[in-house]
């Protein structure tokens, strides 16, 4: 659970990171900067993450590109199964596509590796309930 964190969940530089089964709750647009930061030689695979964003947070703002102009080809963010809670119901989104629609240059949507060491990847719609019931101090075990 990343609640009211505002940024760097994660901010990756020089690494391969698997981001899955996370529940992001951002209730305040004024304190929000971004969630997924892609830097030099960063390759993120994001699977089945659920975002609860306050009014005023553009889905394109969830991704931040920290690559310098001379290092654009050595990073990427491959995303699948992301859900965003709208006012009336949950719906699937591509936050990388939203970012790329508003920014140039585009952030690559593929990576050169495949995650192999991880726990169960749950259906995205189940993530909020699972995370709030099973994560946190004194709960993990």
Q: Which residues are catalytic?
A: 8
Query: Distance of CA 48 to CAs 43, 74, 79, 81, 84, Å?
Result: 17, 24, 8, 4, 11
Residues 6+ apart with CB under 8 A from 100: 106, 107, 109
Residues 6+ apart with CB under 8 A from 110: 76, 78
């Amino acid at each position: 659970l990343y609640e009211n964190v505002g940024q760097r969940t994660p901010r990756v530089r020089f690494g391969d990171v698997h981001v899955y089964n996370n529940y992001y709750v951002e209730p305040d647009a004024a304190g929000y900067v971004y969630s997924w930061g892609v830097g030099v030689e960063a390759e993120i695979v994001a699977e089945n993450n659920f975002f609860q964003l306050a009014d005023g947070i553009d889905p394109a703002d969830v991704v931040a590109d920290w690559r310098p102009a001379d290092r654009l080809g050595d990073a990427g963010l491959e995303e699948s199964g992301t859900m965003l809670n709208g006012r009336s119901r949950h719906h699937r989104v591509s936050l990388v596509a939203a970012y790329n629609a508003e920014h140039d240059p585009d952030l690559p949507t593929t990576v050169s590796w495949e995650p192999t060491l991880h726990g169960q990847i749950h259906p995205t719609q189940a993530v909020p309930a699972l995370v709030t019931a099973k994560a946190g101090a004194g709960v993990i075990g």
